């Protein structure tokens, strides 16, 4: 199932990505509208992280094209933010929390320009939003996993981008941190920002996202959550490995997941 939208923020056409000649993503066609909080879901090895990395130009693509705001990434890079998986980052590098968040401002500075007082204020405000301002002078390596994830989110917020790509931002964080993060993401979306999140928890997905991408090497479906998050698409995505299917069915049956208010 596909969703046709006018003037999409993200447009992917015929995308194929291979590792050692084996397809990881195959002929993916999809769009995402402005202001959506979109979840990419699918089983392990489905290509979810690869999709995000290909959008960010971090892995080569075999065929197809990707447009952001109808342009190539290099033309809009400062308007695009990327939060990688926490496990892919070397947390031993010597940097304070506020220094890491300030990295989000570099795209606004240009060559040889030093951060200004206003940039520092943006960084500190981002730390306040994620509840980490009291830790601003701590070394990033001294923080817990959930705290590190909050700092990475603050860095993304400090960038003041228009579209955010996040690879499993809830992995390894406690319930309070997860609630804080999703609340912030919804707030950003309500302001017209677009957020695309790789996510693995089917039980929370319909409450978190108003747009859904169901992926298993090929695109199974994409569109408004109420339309595509259903038994048929989930079975096709997970191929019989869906142990939570009965619980998800109950959710669907009871329609207990509200769509976010239209903007």
263 pLDDT above the threshold of 50: no
180 pLDDT above the threshold of 70: yes
In a domain, 261, yes or no: no
Scanning 103-144, the segments in alpha helix (DSSP H) are 106-109, 117-129
| pLDDT at 239 (0 to 100) | 80
77 pLDDT above the threshold of 70: yes
> pTM here?
0.85
Predicted confidence band of residue 145 (pLDDT cuts 50, 70, 90): confident
| pLDDT at 242 (0 to 100) | 53
In a domain, 259, yes or no: no
Q: Is the pLDDT higher at 5 or at 3?
A: 5
In a domain, 5, yes or no: no
Instruction: Tell me if 130 sits within 8 A of 101, measured CB to CB.
Output: no
Give the pair of three-digit tokens for residue 19. 């590792």
Which backbone phi and psi does 122 adopt, to 5 degrees?
Answer: -65, -45
What number is the average pLDDT over the span 157-176? 89
In a domain, 60, yes or no: yes
Beta 63-68 vs 218-224: how paired, if at all? unpaired
Predicted confidence band of residue 18 (pLDDT cuts 50, 70, 90): very high
Highest mean pLDDT: which range of 39-48, 103-112, 177-186: 39-48
In a domain, 98, yes or no: yes
Cα 211 to Cα 194, 196, 228, 237: the distances in Å are: 11, 9, 9, 16
159: number of Cβ within 10 Å: 23
Write out the residue range of the structural domain in which residue 193 sits. 10-254
Torsion, CA 19, CA 22, CA 24, CA 26, rounded to 10: 130
In a domain, 4, yes or no: no
In a domain, 263, yes or no: no
Task: Please give the Cα distance from 245 to 120 (Å, whole number).
Answer: 47
Domain count, the chain: 1
pLDDT digits (tens, 9 = 90+) for 188-238: 999 999 999 999 889 999 999 999 999 999 999 999 999 999 989 998 998
In a domain, 195, yes or no: yes
Domain CATH for 105:
3.40.50.300
| Backbone CA torsion sign across 255, 257, 261, 263 | negative
| pLDDT at 89 (0 to 100) | 64
């Amino acid at each position: 199932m596909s969703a046709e939208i006018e003037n999409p923020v993200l447009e992917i056409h015929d995308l194929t990505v291979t590792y050692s000649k084996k397809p990881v993503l195959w002929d993916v066609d999809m769009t995402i509208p402005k202001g959506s909080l979109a979840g990419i879901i699918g089983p392990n090895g489905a290509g979810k992280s690869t999709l995000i990395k290909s959008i960010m130009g971090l892995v080569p693509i075999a065929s197809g094209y990707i447009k952001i705001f109808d342009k190539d990434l290099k033309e809009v890079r400062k308007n695009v933010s990327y939060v990688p998986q926490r496990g892919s980052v070397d947390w031993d590098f010597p940097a304070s929390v506020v220094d890491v968040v300030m990295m989000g401002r570099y795209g606004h500075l240009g060559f040889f320009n030093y951060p200004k007082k206003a940039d520092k204020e943006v960084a500190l405000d981002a730390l306040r939003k994620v509840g980490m301002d009291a830790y601003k002078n701590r070394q990033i390596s001294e923080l817990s996993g959930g705290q590190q994830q909050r700092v990475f989110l603050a860095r993304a917020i400090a960038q003041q981008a228009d579209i955010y790509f996040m690879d499993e931002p809830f992995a390894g964080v406690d319930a309070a941190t997860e609630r804080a993060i999703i609340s912030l993401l919804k707030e950003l979306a309500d302001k017209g920002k677009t957020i695309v999140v790789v996510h693995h928890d089917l039980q929370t997905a319909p409450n978190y996202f108003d747009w859904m991408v169901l992926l298993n090497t090929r695109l199974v479906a994409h569109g408004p959550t109420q339309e595509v998050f259903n038994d048929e698409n989930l079975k096709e995505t997970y191929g019989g490995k869906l142990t939570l299917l009965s619980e998800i069915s109950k959710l669907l049956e009871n329609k207990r997941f509200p769509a976010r208010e239209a903007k």
